[in-house]
Structure 1
Amino acid sequence: MFLHVQRMINEIVPDEPDPAAANALQEGLGGQFGEMRTMMQYLFQAFNFRGATGKPYRDLLYGVGTEEIGHVELIATTIARLTDGAPGYGGDPTEPLDVPGADGATPLAMALSGGNIHHYLVGAQGALPVDAAGNPWSGSYVYNSGNLVLDLLYNLMLESTGRLQKCRLYEMTDNKTARATISYLIVRDQAHENAYAKALESLGIDWGKTLPIPKTNAERFPEVKTLLDQGLHLKQFTFSADDLSEAGKIYRGEAPASVGGGRLTTEVMPEGFPMDIAAERPEEFGPGLDPDLLALVQATAELELADAEEPVKPKKAAAKKKPKVKK
């Protein structure tokens, strides 16, 4: 079973909308090496795992795969914030329609100037399960050979390629919302590189000299350096509510010297950050709760609440019938 905690795994830093940055981030969400891929690949490897003696490896896959669900949530929410509203346009929920050209601009003009027009036509200013070119995410990306060493090798390559792309994404935008999310994912990809490198090392393969990939000296990105200074790249989360995970048998000891060393540790889960709900977008006709419908919802809720609070009246005892006496 999986539990959803209503906290974001990393803070969504506010900044102006940036549809071009949102579209670039789609590669990190629905691309071949994006967060949807890592989530599905690791979880399916865990679901299909065989061999009770290999439980620590299965638990490691479960922990990283579960964290990737949080990464999908984070990057999708970031994309939604980057497409959320047109600069200078607040919308008026009291007006049924906007007048084209009013005050010199149309509400959704930014949809035509950059990014992916489907963010506005199809997604109502939200994320889509596609890559940066608009290609739908495909389950054929998922690699699950059934061979532990092959799967771990492939996972290490996947994390390294994902980290490479996120370093490129960082260099594409100066938007604070985008960079905060990208930086967090760069550091966590490095932690997952460490996880799979340690797993391979425990099987007799030394990967310490090759990591991290790419060798970017990521500390030059200020947001990344802040997270590295906090040791975020040295932690792996188990997301094991019953504390039965044995991933700590693998994710332990010294990190590769090429990433600055340090002790690897496991924790149940990060504390997270407060999660909010985005404002309605009247120019997208979404979510479409008009005043009459809202009043009906409120009235129904009040009736249900009144019924729940009404005390239960005790039932009257049935009168006992006197037995008939035969004469």
Structure 2
Amino acid sequence: MYFHVQEFINEIAQDEPDPAAANALQEGLGGQFGEMRTMMQYLFQSINFRGPSGKPYKDLIQGIGTEEISHVELIGTTISRLLDGSPRYNGKPTDPVDAPGAGGATPLSIAVDHGNIHHYLVGAQGALPVDAAGNPWMGSYVYNSGNLVLDLLYNLMLESTGRLQKCRLYEMTDNKMARSTISYLIVRDQAHENAYAKALETLGVNWRTSLPIPKTNAEQFPEVKRLVDLGLQSKQYSFDLGNQSEAGRIFQGASPSNDGTQLDASEQAPAGSPMTISPERPEEFSPGADEELRALIEATAAMEMADIDATFGRM
């Protein structure tokens, strides 16, 4: 079972909307080496895992896959916020929906040539399950061979390539909102590289001779350096409420990154960051829920929380 803690895994910085940055970030979400790929690949590998004696490896892969769900949420929300409202224009909920067009104004003109027009035409100014070129995410990206060494090697390659791409994304934009998320994912990709590299080492695989962790020098990015200085690249979380994960039997000892840190799998989950919902945009035909629907949502949520409390106690 999975539980959702209503917090972002990392804080999303505030900045102006930037449709071009939003479109670039789509590669990190729905591209071949994006967060949707890692999420689905690791979860399917853990679901299909065989061999009780290999439980620490299953737990490691599943823990990382669970974290990737939060990465999809983080990068998707960042894309949505980069598309939230037209730059230099903020309408009022009390305005008629056609007010932005008065006098020939075109508040969404930036959508035509600054990003992916589908964000505005079919996506309600939000993230889509596509790459930066608009190609839909495909399940055929998922690699699950059934051979543990092959899967770990492929996962290490996937994280290495994903981190390399995110370094390029960082250098494509100076938007603080985009960079806050990109930097966090760069560091967490390194943590996952360390996890799969250490797992291969425990199986006697000399991965360094054929698949070195790329030297991206990402520490030169100020936001990345701050997180690396906190040791975030050497932590791995279990996301296990039952305290049954054995991933710590693998994720321990000196970091494969050779940065002088020790791997630490002692934490269940990171602290998280408060989650907020973007405002409605009636002037851009991206409204939220009407009053009747809000009342239904609140009543349903109250019933669900009461059921959870009755089953598991107050959470």
User: TM over 0.5: same fold?
Assistant: yes
Q: Distance in 1 between matches of 2:155 and 2:124?
A: 34
1:294 aligns with 2:291: yes
SS across alignment from 1:276: coil
Deviations 1:59-106 (A, max 9, x none): 001100000000000000000011110012112322333246547732
4+ long deviations beyond 6 Å: 209-212, 299-302
1:288–1:243 Cα change, 3 Å: closer
User: What residue ranges of structure 1 are gaps of 5+ in the alignment?
Assistant: 306-327
1:233–1:100 Cα change, 3 Å: closer
Aligned to 2:283: 283
CA RMSD of aligned residues (A): 2.1
Correspondence 1:31-42 to 2 at 5 A: 31-42=31-42
1:151 aligns with 2:148: no
Aligned to 2:197: 197
Percent identity of the aligned residues?
72
Please say if residues 187 and 233 of structure 2, whose CA atoms lie closer than 8 Å, have aligned partners that are also in contact: yes
Q: Distance in 2 between matches of 1:50 and 1:31?
A: 29
SS across alignment from 2:236: strand
SS across alignment from 1:237: coil
1:209–1:9 Cα change, 3 Å: farther
- Cα distance, 1:288 vs. partner? 5.1
Please say if residues 7 and 275 of structure 2, whose CA atoms lie closer than 8 Å, have aligned partners that are also in contact: yes
- Cα distance, 1:208 vs. partner? 5.2
Please say if residues 39 and 66 of structure 2, whose CA atoms lie closer than 8 Å, have aligned partners that are also in contact: yes
1:46 aligns with 2:49: no
Q: Distance in 2 between matches of 1:218 and 1:301?
A: 44
Aligned to 2:216: 216
Aligned to 1:91: 91
Aligned to 1:236: 236
Residue type of the alignment partner of 2:109: A
Q: Distance in 1 between matches of 2:168 and 2:293?
A: 49
Aligned length: 299
Give me the TM-score of the superposition, normalised by structure 1.
0.86
User: What residue ranges of structure 2 are gaps of 5+ in the alignment?
Assistant: 303-315
Residue type of the alignment partner of 1:141: Y
SS across alignment from 1:172: coil
Please say if residues 80 and 127 of structure 2, whose CA atoms lie closer than 8 Å, have aligned partners that are also in contact: yes
Q: Distance in 2 between matches of 1:19 and 1:50?
A: 44
Please say if residues 198 and 251 of structure 2, whose CA atoms lie closer than 8 Å, have aligned partners that are also in contact: yes
Structure whose CA Rg is larger: 1
Correspondence 1:23-34 to 2 at 5 A: 23-34=23-34
Greater alpha carbon shift after TM alignment, 78-87 vs 107-116? 107-116
Please say if residues 129 and 136 of structure 1, whose CA atoms lie closer than 8 Å, have aligned partners that are also in contact: yes
